[in-house]
Amino acid sequence: MRIFFFCVVFFCSAFAEDLPDSTRLFKLNEIVVTGNRLLTESRKLSSSVQVLDSLELHSVNGSSLADAVKFQHGIFLSSYGSTGALQTASLRGLASDYTLILIDGERFNTFQIGTVDLGIFPLSNVERIEIVNGGNSALYGADAVGGVINVITKHAVTENSLSAKYSLGSFNFQSYGIEAAQIVHKIFLRANLSIERAANNFPFTFSDGLQTQQLKREGADYSSKIFSGEISSSVTENIFSRLSLRLSEADRGQPNAVMNFIQNNRARILDKNAFLTFKTDWSHSQENIFSLQSSYQYKFQNYSDPALRIGGKNVDAVYYNQMISLTPSVQTSFDGGNKLFAGIELVRGIISSNELYPRRRDQFSAYVSSQFEIQNIFNAVFYPAVRYDTYSDVNGDFCPKIGINIGVTSFENIRIRASYGKNYRIPTFNDLYWIEGGNPNLHAERSLSGDVGIIGSVDWIGKFEAEAAYFSIQTKDKIVWKPMGGTLWSPVNISAVSSTGIEANVRSSFFKDGIIIQWNYTLTNSIKTSADVPNDATQGKRIPYLPKETAHLLFTGSFQNVSCNIRYSFSSFLFTQADNNPQKILSAYSTIDGNISFQFSALGVRSTAKLEINNLTNEEYTFILNYPVPLRNYRFSIQTTI
């Protein structure tokens, strides 16, 4: 194993000196949009924003959003299995339903359930991903408590192109993709179709305490189709409009936890999603830009299990979610680089299901985000923001946030930053309107979050960048489903959680980005602070299924037309019980993933071949008790572009 590691390092470094000039900048100088809704250098923001650009998205193994974000600091990604299995992201020690997912700035979480399944969100049409660690309800409203993941889709077309991609891999994985981009009379057109499927019949070891056997996962097959299309155009010199449509379907087995040697998995889950967005920007002047964004989202989900009959009927739940939004906004620049972004948001969400009462939620929101810069001995940037949300069915909230970023003018390389704000998570439709026990009297969970950190960079031999932060998120009135007598369970605002921790990230690049080494570390203490029952034995205990520590080491080496990536991940053990029973844990684990890709051209056709290896060391581990994940597995892909 070590020999392989050093061979790869040697191979990449030996050729790196000949690397042509890189166009990549310091990562911390990247212009991001998600931090405060204004285009800002990430190093000047008041808290951490991690960016995965197109180069980094190409460097990851796998093809889902989950595959892309799992190596970032502050994030813990949990998986129920292999490709296409439910995968969710927790930020800063909170559960995954405290993570807000955006597509091009538009909310993707439905009102029905707070969690977004990142395992069935393909990267095929993704240009970049911005991850904001920490609470951000002052900018994005409900559910932005642990953080925000903003998926920015491919936009501008610079040339006509046609590309095709084919992949195959372990456990009968296959995928096909085609993308076309065309410019016709200042109208930019892009279309992308991607199809994936996998049997996911991977081997794993199961022990019932008496015997240990090698089994193959059953009932975990997966297939998905996604189409995305876009038309954009400059209608006039100062008006730019964009219409995009995303259609997806995922059909997959939903296997149970493995409890014995014979699996009896017949449950399936079918997801269909349509996401239509329209945005137009009008540059009234250099200082003022008016925008109008609108979206419509339709989500259908069907969970069925013919092996489970209750009251003479098979379990067969269907959920129809619709959301429509209209968001006018204005961005204004003042003297000295000061900026202001203001907007209102009108949203209607509708749920229809055989498990929930049919309900509708109307949301009205207004927000202002601003950036004021003071330049003297110090360069200080202030980020006051405030947002007010009101809902037709539950109380909204008024969420202010203040952020600051300070550097010494004569020494801009090191900056100190801090932010503090109020956030909230809104009760889901499931919490409120579930037929068997939903509680319409719930109110929003309240949260206060803050962080303080340092960020710096130095250009010496190579480029070194580092950032570190201490964070704290205090959540109260947390919604927990409790037994109400008999077989009835109902949610109540009862619990409280404190999540504090440290994040650190160091990135170094040498030989003009020919070698990039990145290390990050997250220490999280997520503690249940409330006593929800008399003499509550879970008070003061860590939240189960969230590790105390995670760390990643990422290596990228590239020379001319060859590049390789190695990713090492570590997670400390996980408690599986709320009382932190030390005998009921999932062990700590370390994994290594890697890939090598080769680019070549012939007859005007550019091609890239890529070989991926996951879990190189065959580590046996799980994120969820008795939900195995694959051992070493491979994937090969080839992409050609005309």
Partner 1 sequence: MKKYVLLVCSLILFGCSKESPADSSNELPANTKGVFILNEGGFGKVNASLSLYIPDSHKVYQNIFETANNRSLGDVANDMILFDNKGYIVVQNSDKVEVVSLETKKSLGVMSLPGKTPNKILIISTSKGYITNLYKQSVTAFNPSTLAVLKDSIAVGNNPQSMAYVNGKVYVCNSGYGSDNTVSVINPTNDSVVKAIVTAAGPSEIGVDKNGKVIILCTGYSDWSNSANDTPGNISIVDPAVDSVVQTIPFSLSQYGHPMKMSLSTSGDGFTFTNKGITKFNTTSGTITAESYIPKNGYTLKVDNDNGELYVGDAMDFVQNGLMYRYSKQGNLQDSMTVGIIPGTIVIAK
Among 24, 360, 482, 512, which residue interacts with partner 1 (rule: CB under 8 A)? 482
Q: What are phi and psi of 65, to 5 degrees?
A: -60, -35
| Interface residue with partner 1, options 20, 312, 336, 604 (CB under 8 A) | 312
Phi, psi of 436 (to 5 degrees): -95, 75
- At closest approach, how far in Å is the CB of 617 from partner 1? 5
Each residue 409-448 as x (binds partner 1 by CB under 8 A) or -, in order, gives --------------------------xxx-----------
Mark the segment that binds partner 1 (CB under 8 A) among 70-78, 154-162, 303-311, 327-335.
Answer: 303-311
Q: Which residues pair with 575 in a beta bridge?
A: 585
In the set 54, 205, 238, 264, which binds partner 1 (CB under 8 A)? 264
Is 7 one of the binding residues for partner 1 (CB under 8 A)? no
Among the listed residues 156, 162, 308, 374, the single contact to partner 1 using CB under 8 A: 308
Name which position in 578, 609, 611, 638 contacts partner 1 (CB under 8 A). Answer: 578
- Show the binding pattern over residues 339-378: x = contacts partner 1 (CB under 8 A), - = does not: ------------------x---------------------
> What amino acid occupies position 494?
I
Q: Can residue 392 be called a binding residue for partner 1 (CB under 8 A)?
A: no
Site size toward partner 1 (CB under 8 A) is 60
* Closer residue to partner 1, CB minimum distance, 193 or 551: 551
Residue 280, both tokens? 């137009």
Side-by-side strand order, sheet with 126-133 = 49-52, 126-133, 147-153, 99-103, 106-107
Other residues' Cβ atoms within 10 Å of the Cβ of residue 409: 11
Give the 3-state DSSP-derived string for 96-144, with helices as H, strands as E and coil as C: HHHEEEEECCEECCCCCCCCCCHHHCECCCEEEEEEEECCCHHHHCCCC
Closer of 234 and 581 to partner 1 (Cβ): 581
User: Applying CB under 8 A, which part among 64-72, 147-155, 231-239, 309-317 lies near partner 1?
Assistant: 309-317
| Residue 478 found at the interface with partner 1 (CB under 8 A) | no
Q: Does 3 bind partner 1 (CB under 8 A)?
A: no
Cβ atoms of 615 and 589 within 8 Å: the answer is no
Instruction: Considering only residues 531 through 560, tell me which ones interact with partner 1, judged by CB under 8 A.
Output: 532-533, 536-538, 548-549, 551, 553
Q: Which of 47, 68, 66, 73 lies closest to 58 in space, CA to CA? A: 68
Cβ neighbours for 602, distance < 8 A, ≥ 6 positions apart:
none
- Judged by beta carbon, residue 459 or residue 579, the one nearer partner 1 is 579
Among 172, 213, 234, 260, binds partner 1 (CB under 8 A): 260
Distance CA 334, CA 329 (A): 17
For partner 1, which is the closer residue by CB, 182 or 577? 577
Distance CA 58, CA 61 (A): 8
Q: Is 330 in the site for partner 1 (CB under 8 A)?
A: no
Query: According to the binding rule CB under 8 A, does residue 20 interact with partner 1?
Result: no
For 22, other C-beta atoms within 10 Å of its C-beta total: 14
User: Could you give the 3-state DSSP secondary structure of residue 346?
Assistant: strand
Q: Tell me the per-residue interface mask from 59 to 98 with partner 1, x by CB under 8 A, - otherwise.
A: ----------------------------------------
Rounded to a whole number of angstroms, the minimum distance from the CB of residue 260 to partner 1 is 5
- Residue 2: phi and psi, rounded to 5, are -65, -35
Of 169-177, 216-224, 444-452, 616-624, the segment contacting partner 1 by CB under 8 A is: 616-624
Q: Is there binding between residue 288 and partner 1 (CB under 8 A)?
A: no
The answer to whether 503 touches 473, Cβ cutoff 8 Å, is no
What part of residues 495-524 is at the interface with partner 1 (CB under 8 A)? 519, 521
Figure out which of the listed residues 29, 213, 309, 337 binds partner 1, where binding follows CB under 8 A.
309
Residue 639: name the closest of 189, 124, 241, 202 by CA: 124
Q: Which of 262, 377, 461, 602 binds partner 1 (CB under 8 A)?
A: 262
* Residue 595 contacts residue 611 (beta carbons within 8 Å): yes
Measure the CA–CA gap between 118 and 106, rounded to whole angstroms: 16
Q: Which two tokens stand for residue 285?
A: 């002047």
**Closest CB to partner 1 among residues 561, 617:** 617
| Nearer Cβ to partner 1 (429/568) | 568
* 300 lines the binding site for partner 1 (CB under 8 A): no
Q: How far is the CB of 435 from partner 1 (least distance, A)?
A: 5
When the beta carbons of 203 and 483 are compared against partner 1, the nearer one is 483
Contact range with partner 1 by CB under 8 A, out of 154-162, 167-175, 271-279, 568-576: 568-576
Q: At its nearest, how many Å lie between partner 1 and the CB of residue 26?
A: 23
Q: Are 104 and 152 in contact (CB under 8 A)?
A: yes
203 versus 358: smaller Cβ distance to partner 1? 358
Report the candidate in 181, 49, 234, 23 with the shortest Cα–Cα distance to residue 128.
49
For residue 106, give both structure tokens: 């538009």
Nearest approach in angstroms of CB 81 to partner 1 is: 14
Region of 260-268, 389-397, 416-424, 465-473 interacting with partner 1 (CB under 8 A): 260-268
Site track 206-245 with partner 1 (rule: CB under 8 A), x = hit: --xxx-----------------------------------
Min CB(584)–partner 1 separation in Å? 6
Nearer to partner 1, 235 or 435 (CB): 435
355-387 as b/e: b if 16+ CB within 10 A:
bbeebebebebebbbbbbeeeeeebbbbbbbbb
3-state secondary structure 499-554: EEEEEEEEEEEECCCCEEEEEEEEEEEEEECCCCCCCCCCCCCECCCCCCEEEEEE
Q: Does 176 bind partner 1 (CB under 8 A)?
A: no
Burial per residue of 68-77, b for 16 or more beta-carbon CB atoms within 10 angstroms, e otherwise: bbbbbbbbbb
Does 17 sit near partner 1 (CB under 8 A)?
Answer: no
Nearer to partner 1, 259 or 408 (CB): 259
Query: Which amino acid is present at 560?
Result: Q
Contact present, 143 and 132 (Cβ < 8 Å):
no
Distances (CA, A) of 412 to 66, 380, 461, 614: 35, 11, 19, 40
What is the smallest separation between the CB atom of 392 and partner 1, expressed in angstroms?
21
Strands 147-153 and 99-103: parallel
| Least gap, CB of 585 to partner 1 (angstroms) | 6
Q: Are 130 and 152 in contact (CB under 8 A)?
A: yes
Confirm if 49 and 74 have CB atoms less than 8 A apart.
no
As a whole number of angstroms, the distance between CA 127 and CA 55 comes to: 9
Separation CA 232–CA 281 (nearest Å): 11
* List of residues contacting partner 1 (CB under 8 A): 1-2, 208-210, 257, 259-262, 264, 307-312, 357, 435-437, 482-483, 485-488, 519, 521, 532-533, 536-538, 548-549, 551, 553, 568, 570, 572-573, 575-585, 588, 590, 617-619, 625-626
